[in-house]
Chain A
Amino acid sequence: MKPTRVSALTGSLATLALVLSACGGGDIEKETEANESQAAETGDCGELNMAVNPWVGFEADAYVVGHVAQEELGCSVTYKDLKEEVSWQGFGSGEVDVVIEDWGHPDLEKQYFEDQGGDGSAMDAGPTGNVGIIGWYVPPWMAEEYPDITDWNNLNKYADLFETPESDGKGQFLGADPSYVQFDEAIVNNLDLDFKVVFSGSEAASIAAFEKAEKDKTPLIGYFYEPQWFMSEVPLVKVSLPEYTDGCQDDAKAVACDYPETELKKIVSTSFMESDSPAVGLIESFQWTNDDQNLVAKYISEDGMSAEDAAAKWVDENPDQVEAWLNAG
């Protein structure tokens, strides 16, 4: 490097350093001081790391709880956009404190729950109050046009309706986002249905497919679930499979029954649960209904609000419920 360049570089760096150190005043300064004094006042909730799994319902739960923790308890909340698996991994390293909506991950529980032989880095923090209904759904126009389609016994009758170039001459069943625990290949097989499971690959793809099917009035059947904001846009109709009985899903290859209704639960890191953070009580007592979640989810996905704004709006509109969570803890 030539000496002129060196001197010019050091010169500019020196200027920069000077500028950074020497300035003061202005409106930023005032806010800085305000922040400093405020920091002394609020309680020491510390940090709260909320995983945000990639579906809108989850986002609704996470941001509502996060909003309350931040505003009422003074926690510094960090939202981390992660898939389920990676979130659970984060419990052990302290990078994730809470997974606020869990649909049941037997494999992960085995790995991380102490009572199931795991390393004990994660634990169950009780239900969210939401009930997950997983199952086979058709767009509303089909349920109207073919009323008896909602009984699995009639599915073979309509199989050819669902035939697509993807499905090898059988009816196409749209399999779900690979993140979800699903037994559709086994169910099709064991119920002797004339269908082939074609995987959508992602939730976004499934939603796009159902939306298109309703709009174009094309036949479609596939895995879906509620609570899910999309249901308020296109109320999919559930097809009943043979009723769920305890243990009928234990052998993944032999499944021939419907999915159970799932109590959605909160999963937290053990070290967080054992800390004295005031947020622990909030997480434990947080509970709401499917309608509550759907409302916030609608704010986000349909009204295009940011998750923060949507959560703030719901919290403002439901002070009693929030109060109840805080007092219970």
Chain B
Amino acid sequence: MTATLERPPASAPAPPEAPRTRGPVPRWAWLLGILAAWIVASWIGHGKATLYLPGQGSTDVHEWFTQLKRDLIASRDDNLLMQAVGAVSDLFGGAVEQLQRFVSVDAYPRPVPQIGWLGVLGIAGWVALAVAGWKHAVGTVAALATVGLLGYWNDGMDTLVVTFVSVAICLLIGLPVAVLMGNSRRAYALITPVLDVMQTFPSFVYLAPATLFFGLGAPVAVAVTVVYAVPPVIRVATEGIRGVSETTVEATTSLGQTPWQRLTKVQLPMARRTIIVGVNLTTMAALSMSVIAGFVNSPGLGKPVLRALTAGTNQVGVAFTAGLAIVVIAIMLDRVTTAASERSEVLARSGGTDRRTRWIVLGVAAIAAGVCVVLSRRSLSLADFPDTGVGDTVADAMQRATDWTTDTFSGLTTWLQETTTTLFINPLQDLIASSPWFVTGTALLLVALVLGGRVAALTTLVCLAGIRLTDLWYDAMVTFTSVLVATVFVMVLAALVGVPMARRRMVDRVLRPVLDAAQVMPAFVYLIPVLALFGPGRFTAIVAAVIYAAPVAIKLVADGVKQVSATTVEAATAAGSTPWQLITKVQLPMARSHLVLAANQGLLYVLSMVVIGGLVGGGGLGYDVVLGFSRSEYFGKGLVAGATIVLLGIMVDRVTRRAAARRTTSPSVRSALVIGRSSGLARRGPLV
């Protein structure tokens, strides 16, 4: 009916794909062939031309970057850029400080902050009521009270302050950029890779140099948080703006609107819901930086977590309690912003009496909140969160639990670590890292060609060339091996747990909150117990990565299996399928696009743990980054290691996505691939 030919797409048509594998030789046969050739070549050239560099070694490339940093430091007194950035960062440092004096730091000469805990609860409850409804208001108050009970009121408030300031700056920067990207294809093409790098570049690398520009504490914490957290809101808001119906834009333009009117009256209102989803993802991303920011003295819950880490196995309970406070805050912010997104439409539409009632309720609540504030300013016990000892009890219980676990399973875990390392990691690493570099490079290129086609192979070629130039080929391949093994574990877990979740409501109900919590629990909290169980090494790094990445993959698989049409399942059941047949022949194959998405996300999440893995003996690029962060003379090595991680990330991401795109035409999965890369708590909504 519609005239489809009339508006050809402005972008060039996709280049021809590599020969389809539906021909005489199936894809898996190609892969097996490549693998066989690889093994043979690797056996012949084992240990030669591996480009191995000792842990404390570095090359001219690395030295060059280190010198760059030294020059930067030497020039700091008369470097105009640094002065300018410093002036700006004083602004947000000041903002954080002011807010802190309101809620978390003694507003001297007052012995307490301007607003005590009761007042904060009142205000937070009111805000949640206004944007998300009374259920979430109750939830918010309960969550904040829990943070106080755990004994981290002040640190929790600090975390909230830093998060809020960061998110505000993210929106200030992100929304205009999203508008630009939403309206200009060129800007979209130019900025997207920048966002990719911002999200995959390990913040450890630029943490130390960033302090040169931004200064210690809150300002640098806000800066690095913004770098990491701004891409999600840009991506999602851009999708929102691009997703606004073209006809509507055309129709309103035909009425003579200015570009500004188009933006403010058409695009932004229509993208509002999506934009709030972006705010949610950005908030979660900002919160996930709270511990890393602790490395540069950011106020907040990162401090107790890191401090407990230095005290070793005795303080695991304390670290866990502080981590729990982060989890509670994360879940609170997630639920409130999600509800706010869902409610925005309803609110905009509620008219007449509804609206009046709403404002009366809010007015009354505001008075109540005001009373709370007044009280909290007068009474010490309503200002200083009382020490209830709950936190210590929780910490003790957790300490005992981890001690018991490490004592009981130590033998088993050692065996597990040794077996897995010997049977899986070492042979794979022999193949990937201990082959001559050109053998591995060629093999990876061919695999990319078979899986993802010519474009994917080209990306792989560029990335591998980049990795070769960083002089960290061997370390990159060690890391790549670990990432692959971890992703396999993640996918196995995702299938084992995700399928039952999809099939049984109860399982889902019980597991989902656990997964949400596991996803936002800072990895630093469970590093020590994992170390106590498995000892330092690559396996430990893999375990930590799996703990971090599995929840998102599990949820994706569960959602994928769940959305398999009920009719199809009924038909298969009617045809006499056993549950096993149903799962393997109907549900999993039909959820394939979600499985691919889960693998893609799993890989990227695992990759984002490479640096953390470096802290527990994972070696490879993770160790290089930590080394660069810890020792000024290795800065350059850390920097290029970070870049290498980005290259690995782009490589695996593009190959899996091309592979996925060749098999799925589902637009929902495609958009999920866009939004999914924006990290955060994977959503239960229609997005992922």
Contact = CB atoms under 8 A, between A and B. Distances in A.
Q: Do A and B come from one complex?
A: yes
Interface of A: 2, 4-5, 8, 11-12, 15-16, 18-20, 23-29, 31-33, 35-36, 39, 54-56, 59, 80-86, 88-90, 92-93, 95-96, 105, 107-108, 111, 119, 164-166, 174-175, 177-179, 181-183, 185-186, 197-209, 211-212, 215-216, 218, 230, 252, 300-302, 304, 307
Contacts of B311: 56, 300-301
B413 to A, nearest CB: 10
A107 B633 contact: yes
Of all A-B residue pairs in the complex, the 6 with the closest CB atoms, nearest first, are A26-B378, A165-B421, A208-B531, A35-B109, A179-B630, A178-B627
A28 B366 contact: no
B378 A23 contact: yes
Contacts, number: 241
Contacts of B109: 32-33, 35-36, 39
Contacts of A32: 109-111
B617 interface: yes
Interface in B526-584: 527-528, 531-532, 535-540
Contact of B379 (A15, A16, A20, A27): A27
A89 B208 contact: yes
B536 A82 contact: no
B349 to A, nearest CB: 12
Contacts of A197: 55
Nearest to A205: B536
B383 to A, nearest CB: 6
Interface stretch (B180-188, B274-282, B293-301, B442-450): B293-301
A105 B197 CA distance: 32
6 contacts: A19-B377, A24-B378, A56-B310, A165-B422, A182-B56, A204-B310
B118 to A, nearest CB: 12
B266 interface: no
Contacts of A80: 216-217, 297
A185 B55 contact: yes
B383 A83 contact: no
B619 A199 contact: yes
B211 A89 contact: yes
Nearest to A118: B74
A28 B54 contact: no
A207 B73 CA distance: 34
Contacts of B414: 216, 218
A198 B313 contact: no
Contacts of B538: 166
Interface in B193-245: 207-208, 211-212, 215-217
Nearest to B356: A4
Contact of B370 (A16, A93, A307): A16
A23 B374 CA distance: 7
B312 A204 contact: yes
Given A207-B312, A218-B414, A201 B111 contact: no
B531 A204 contact: yes
B616 A20 contact: no
A166 B617 contact: yes
Given A8-B359, A81-B294, A198-B617, A19 B110 contact: no
A20 B215 contact: no
Interface string B334-368: 00000000000000000000011001001100110
A44 B623 CA distance: 45
Interface of B: 54-57, 70, 73-74, 76-77, 108-112, 114, 123, 126, 207-208, 211-212, 215-217, 294-297, 303, 306-307, 309-315, 318, 355-356, 359, 362-363, 366-367, 370, 373-374, 377-380, 383, 407, 410-411, 414, 417-418, 421-422, 425-426, 527-528, 531-532, 535-540, 613-619, 622-623, 626-627, 629-634
Nearest to B378: A26
A111 B55 contact: no
A54 B303 CA distance: 11
Nearest to B217: A80
Contacts of B362: 8, 12
B110 A35 contact: yes
B558 to A, nearest CB: 33
Contacts of B626: 178, 201-202
A85 B631 CA distance: 7
B422 to A, nearest CB: 5
A208 B310 contact: no
Nearest to A182: B56
A209 B414 CA distance: 12
Contacts of B355: 2, 4
A257 to B, nearest CB: 16
Contact of B306 (A54, A84, A230): A54
A87 to B, nearest CB: 9
Contact of A212 (B367, B535, B539): B535
B363 A8 contact: yes
B363 A35 contact: no
Contacts of A18: 370
A35 B108 contact: yes
A31 B367 CA distance: 27
Given A8-B362, A86-B208, A199 B380 contact: no
A95 B615 contact: no
A82 B297 contact: yes
Nearest to A184: B56
B492 to A, nearest CB: 21
- Which among B123, B378, B622, B634 has the highest number of chain A CB atoms within 10 Å? B378
Contacts of A24: 378
Contact of B377 (A28, A83, A175, A177): A28
Nearest to A38: B109
Given A164-B537, A198-B537, A304-B318, A204 B527 contact: yes
A208 B535 contact: yes
Contacts of A90: 211, 216
B111 A31 contact: yes
A29 B378 contact: yes
A15 B619 contact: no
B615 A201 contact: yes
B303 A28 contact: no
Contacts of A301: 311-312, 314-315
A59 B123 CA distance: 37
B208 A85 contact: yes
A166 B631 contact: no
A209 B536 contact: yes
A166 B537 contact: yes
Nearest to B207: A86
A101 B617 CA distance: 26
